[in-house]
């Protein structure tokens, strides 16, 4: 971290020295650093210094943000303009230079819909903490009956109690669901269908990340089993209820990390080789492909399916990695809060303009770029068929 990196020819034409030295009078030097980029891990970005007197430009999540700096000899610190700094907003096309403005860019888009959800039923997996909890809080505030589907009942009850007290909505219900066990998934679906008549929103939010190699109760690699196969089976079991309750929505929480994923059909469970970071990426790509094929199959049913990237969120998802937990704390200023990270989930679940939108991928409450592997229809169909075989189901 912090090592000076060579610049490409394009950078040199902009006035940057070949090895990071700013050319006299203009331009910047560049140094490589690491910063958080998605729920999928730490990505390399570049930090460009001395764009004009008193300011630095920092690339955060591929977004160039200009922030003021102090200058004392070689010391630079974000927060206080240096001598000769331009006034805030004085450079056309450049974000405001205050740290608060920088933080707003990190926070990303917000769901502005004011739609009410009285009479609607929603299931949110993994809603005892982080993004899921904040999504449940938002839907409860809108009047929905919210099913908090979690493995840890004690944490789920605490979260539900907090949400009920804050929103005044007593229809926040906790149900046991362990996505690492197909028996638990089937039991959850059976009980839900026996107790509830309708289901309007299914948010497949729960997930694991950077786990040491392990398998689910059914012998699936943990990332694939929980993040993809568990939600695949849950959606299958609840689909008829969703169709009967239409219009209804299925929301799959994926990640920008899907760009680094590949579906390794020859080694789906990582028995030949395993990398915990790549395993997470593979499972997030599976979420995108599942959404794409599901949307195609649901055309004409008034049930939509969309996927999303919540952003870089300060949550418990990285708890399996000491290094990532440590880095998450260091870069917390550049991470979304769980409430900010939940905005796109809420948007996909309630926004009126998405009533007929399906098979799409969103980030910051707007359509986002999907990797070429996430747009491969043949791979999506093959993954669908393989998933059905692994789970012992027939889903035509």
* Sheet of 55-60, strand order: 29-38, 41-52, 55-60, 63-72, 75-78
Tens digit of each residue's pLDDT (9 = 90 or more) over 256-296: 999 999 999 999 999 999 999 999 999 999 999 999 999 99
Check residue 336 and give its pLDDT: 77
Give me the pLDDT at residue 269, please. 97
Q: Are 238 and 199 in contact (CB under 8 A)?
A: yes
Class in CATH terms, 121-391: alpha beta
- Nearest Cα residue to 41 out of 222, 258, 229: 258
Residues 6+ apart with CB under 8 A from 317: 39, 130, 207, 208, 209
Q: pTM for this structure?
A: 0.73
Which stretches of the chain score pLDDT less than 70? 1-108, 312-334
Which positions are annotated as active-site residues?
280
**Helical H segments across the chain, by residue range:** 9-13, 99-107, 130-141, 153-167, 182-195, 222-223, 231-244, 276-297, 322-330, 338-341, 343-350, 377-391
Kindly list the domain boundaries of the chain, sorted by start residue: 9-107, 121-391
For the stretch 73-119, pLDDT in tens is: 333 333 333 333 334 333 334 444 455 555 455 556 799 999 999 99
């Amino acid at each position: 971290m912090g090592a000076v990196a060579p610049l490409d020819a394009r950078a040199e034409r902009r006035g940057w020295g070949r090895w990071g030295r700013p050319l006299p009078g203009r331009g910047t030097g560049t140094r490589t650093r690491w910063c958080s980029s998605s729920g999928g891990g730490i990505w390399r970005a570049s930090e460009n210094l001395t764009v004009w007197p008193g300011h630095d430009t920092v690339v955060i999540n591929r977004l160039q943000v200009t922030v003021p700096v102090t200058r004392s000899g070689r010391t630079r610190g974000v927060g206080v303009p240096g001598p000769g700094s331009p006034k805030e907003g004085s450079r056309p096309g450049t974000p405001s230079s205050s740290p608060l403005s920088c933080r707003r860019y990190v926070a990303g888009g917000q769901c502005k819909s004011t739609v009410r959800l009285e009479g609607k039923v929603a299931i949110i997996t993994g809603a005892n903490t982080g993004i899921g909890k904040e999504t449940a809080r938002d839907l409860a505030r809108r009047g929905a009956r919210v099913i908090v589907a979690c493995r840890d009942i004690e944490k789920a009850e605490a979260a539900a109690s907090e949400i009920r007290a804050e929103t005044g909505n007593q229809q926040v219900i906790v149900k046991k669901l362990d996505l690492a066990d197909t028996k638990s998934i089937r039991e959850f679906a059976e009980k839900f269908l026996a107790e509830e008549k309708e289901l309007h929103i299914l948010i497949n939010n729960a997930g694991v990340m950077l786990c040491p190699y392990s398998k689910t109760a059914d012998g699936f690699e943990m990332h694939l089993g929980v993040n993809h196969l568990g939600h695949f089976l849950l959606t299958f079991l609840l689909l008829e209820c969703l169709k009967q309750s239409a219009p209804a929505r299925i929301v799959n929480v994926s990640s920008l990390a899907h760009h680094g994923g590949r579906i390794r059909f020859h080694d789906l469970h990582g028995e030949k080789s395993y990398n915990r970071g790549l395993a997470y990426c593979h499972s997030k790509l599976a979420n995108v492909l599942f959404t794409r094929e599901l949307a195609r199959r649901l055309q004409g049913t008034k049930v939509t399916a969309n996927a999303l990237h919540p952003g870089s969120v300060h949550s418990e998802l990285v708890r399996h990695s000491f290094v990532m937990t440590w880095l998450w704390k260091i870069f917390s200023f550049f991470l979304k809060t769980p409430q900010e990270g939940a905005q796109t989930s809420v948007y996909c679940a309630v926004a009126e303009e998405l009533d007929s939108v399906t098979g799409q991928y969103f980030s910051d409450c707007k359509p986002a770029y999907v990797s070429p592997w996430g747009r491969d229809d043949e791979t999506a169909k093959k993954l669908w068929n393989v998933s059905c075989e692994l789970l012992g189901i027939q889903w035509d």
